[in-house]
Chain A
Amino acid sequence: MSAPFFQADSIAVQFGGLKAVDGVSFTVDKGEVFTIIGPNGAGKTTVFNIISRIYNPTAGRVMLEGVEITKLPAHRVAGLGIARTFQNIELFEHATVLQNLLIGAHVHRTTTPLAEALFLPSVKRAEVALREKVEEVIDLLDLAVHRDAMVAGLPYGARKVVELGRALCTRPKLLLLDEPSSGLNVEETEDMAFWIEDITRDLGITVVMVEHDMTLVSRVSDRVMAMNQGRVLAMGSPSEVQHHPAVVEAYIGTPAAAEAVAERAAS
C-alpha cells in the first residue's frame, strides 16, 4: 500500500495540563476537500498549527507524500507545498496587496541577496517572472481593483481574499484554510465557495479547512471530521457527520440533559 497523500498520525499537543489535541489521526487524499468542524476550543486551529509547525506536537507525526514534516523548522513547510491562512487574518498590513502576494511567492525566489542589492539583469528577469505568476492569482481572485492598495485600508472581506491569494502564490499542494468564511457576508461566502471549488478542480490543490458555516461545509467538502475537546468525534461524508449522535451532543447536548435543564427551569 502506498503512503497516503497527507497523514496525521495520532498527533497530540499539551499546554501545561491541558490536552489541546489528544491523539488525532486522519488522512487526506489528493484532490479532496477535507473539513474539520467542532465547537469552540475543540482543537481545530491547534491541529493546523501543528501541521504548519508553529507548535511542536508532544506525540505523533505528520506526513506529506510520505515525508515526515514533524521535525522540520516552520519556514521549510511552505517549500514542501503546504500553505495556510489564519483565522484572524495575518496579513502584512503596511504593504500593498501586490507585495503581500509577492511575499507569498517567496519560496519560489531564485536570486541571492547580493545579486538583488546590485539589481542585476537576472534579478529583473526573475522578478518579472515572479510577477507574472502572481498576476494569475490576482486574475483568479478578482483582486485587480485592490492591486496597489495598502492592506491596512482594505475592508475585511477583501483582506480574507488577499490572504487566500497569498497562500495560493506559494503554489501549494495542500492548502490549509482556517475559517475561510468567518466575518464574510452571504455573497462573499458564496464567492469563497466558488473559489474553493475552483482551487480543487482547476488547480488540483488539496484543501483542508476549518469551518463553522455548515452550508459551505456541505457544499464543498468531500469528507468531514468532527472534533471536540481535542479528540475526533466522527468522520465521514458531511451529512453522516452532521447527524452523528456524538456530534449532535457536542453542539447541543443530550435529550436527557435538555430535559434536566427544562425541569430545573420549571421548578
Chain B
Amino acid sequence: MRFIFKTRYEQDIELFQHGGQVFWYGLLMAVLLVAPLFVSAYVLTQLSQACIYAIVALGLMLLAGFTGQLSLGHAAFMAVGAYTQGVLVTAGVPFFVGIAAAALFAAVVGIIVGLPALRVKGLYLGIATLAFGTIIEEIIARAEHVTGGNAGLMVPPVSLFGWRFADGPSFYYLCLAFALAATLIVINLLRSPTGRAFVAIRDSEISAQSMGVNLAFYKTLSFAISAAFAGVAGALYAHNIRFLSPDQFTVVQSIELVMMVVIGGLGSVHGAIYGAAFLIALPQVINAAKPMLPTFLAEATGLQPTVFGAVLILVVLFEPLGIYGAWLKTRAYFDLFPFYRKGMFRRQKAFQKSDRLK
C-alpha cells in the first residue's frame, strides 16, 4: 500500500500523483506505440477504432458521467463530424481544417441539441436528445446532393502535407495522438474550475447555482465539448471506414455509446477508456467463442446485442461503477491483503441507492 505525503498544493493538481503512475502509464504508452510491430493489420484497424471510440467515450463521459446530462443522440454528433469531414476532404480541404470544421460544426449542433437540457432532466432529456438524433439522421439521409443520402458517401484516405496516412500504422498513430489529446483535455478540465462546475451541476443543481455556477452556460459548454469530441471521432471514423451512410449512425448506435460509458464506469476518465476497449473487444470475443457454441446459438441473429444487454444489466445490478469500479475493488483487495472486507465499499453504495430514490 502506498501513502502519499503531500507537502505542496501543486501535488494535488499534478497529472501523476506518484512514480508508480508514471511507470504504468508510461508502460501502457510504450506498448501502444510498439503495437503496430507485433499485431496484424486487422487488429491494428480495431485498435484505431478503439482509439476513435475512446474519444467519443471521453466526450460522453464528460457530459453524462461528470455533468450528469443524459444524451441519447451522440451517434448523430459523430455523423455530423463524419459527414463534415467526408464532404470537405472530398472537396479538397486539408485534413486538419476539415477536422477543425467537423469539431466546430458538431459543437454548434451540440449546443442546439443541448438547449432542452436547460429545462428538462434525466429521462426527459434523454428522449429530447433521442428525437434530435433521429432528426439529424433523417436530414443526412434526405440531403442527397451533399451527403449522398442512403446511397452513401466515399471518403478518401487521410493525406497530410502530401504524405498519405492511409495504411494501418500511420493512421493508427494519428488516432492514438487524437485519443491522447482528448484524454489530456478532459483531465485538464476536470482539475480546474470548469470541471468542478460540471460535477457541481451533476450532484446538486440548486447548490451549484447558489455557489455562483451559471447552469445554462456550463450545461451548454458541456454539450458543446462533448459533441465536438464526437465530431472529431466521427471525422476519424470516416477515414477509417472510408464509406459513410446514415445507417451507421442510428439511435441503436447512440444507445451503444451510452452503454459503453455505463459499463466502463460512470464518473471516471478510466471508465471511458475501458468502455471503448470493451465495445471493440466484445464482438471479437463473441466471434472467437462462436465455434465453441452449439449451432443454433452461434448462428442466432442478435447474439451480440443480447450479450451487450446482459452485461449492461449485470453491471447496473452488481457494479454500478462499471469496469473501473471492479478494478478499484480488485486493487484494494491486493493493496490491503489480507485485510480486505466485502463491505468496504458498501457505505458509498447505500448512499447512491438513496440518491436514486429521490
Binding site for B on A (CB under 8 A): 52, 54, 73-79, 83-84, 86, 90-95, 98-99, 102-104, 106-107, 109, 111, 113, 116-119, 123-124, 127-128, 130-132, 135, 150, 152-153, 166, 170
Contact = CB atoms under 8 A, between A and B. Distances in A.
Given A52-B210, A92-B199, A116 B193 contact: yes
A132 B212 CA distance: 20
Contact of A150 (B13, B210, B348): B348
B9 A131 contact: yes
Nearest to B209: A74
Contacts of B213: 75, 103, 106
A92 B204 contact: yes
A52 B210 CA distance: 7
Given A90-B206, A113-B194, 20 more contacts: A75-B215, A76-B212, A77-B212, A86-B207, A90-B210, A92-B203, A94-B199, A94-B203, A95-B196, A95-B199, A95-B203, A106-B211, A106-B213, A111-B193, A116-B193, A127-B191, A132-B9, A135-B9, A152-B348, A166-B211
A94 B352 CA distance: 9
Size band of the B side of the interface? 35 or more
A76 to B, nearest CB: 7
Interface of A is mostly: helix
20 contacts: A54-B210, A73-B214, A75-B209, A75-B212, A78-B212, A90-B207, A91-B203, A92-B202, A92-B203, A92-B204, A93-B351, A94-B202, A103-B213, A111-B192, A113-B194, A117-B185, A118-B185, A127-B13, A128-B13, A152-B352
A116 B192 contact: yes
Interface of B: 9-10, 12-13, 184-185, 188-189, 191-197, 199-200, 202-204, 206-215, 221, 267, 347-348, 351-352, 355
Contacts of B195: 116
B189 A117 contact: yes
Contacts of B13: 124, 127-128, 131
A103 B210 contact: no
A84 B267 contact: no
A58 to B, nearest CB: 21
Given A92-B200, A93-B355, A153-B348, A103 B211 contact: yes
A73 B348 CA distance: 34
B200 A103 contact: yes
Contacts of B194: 113, 116
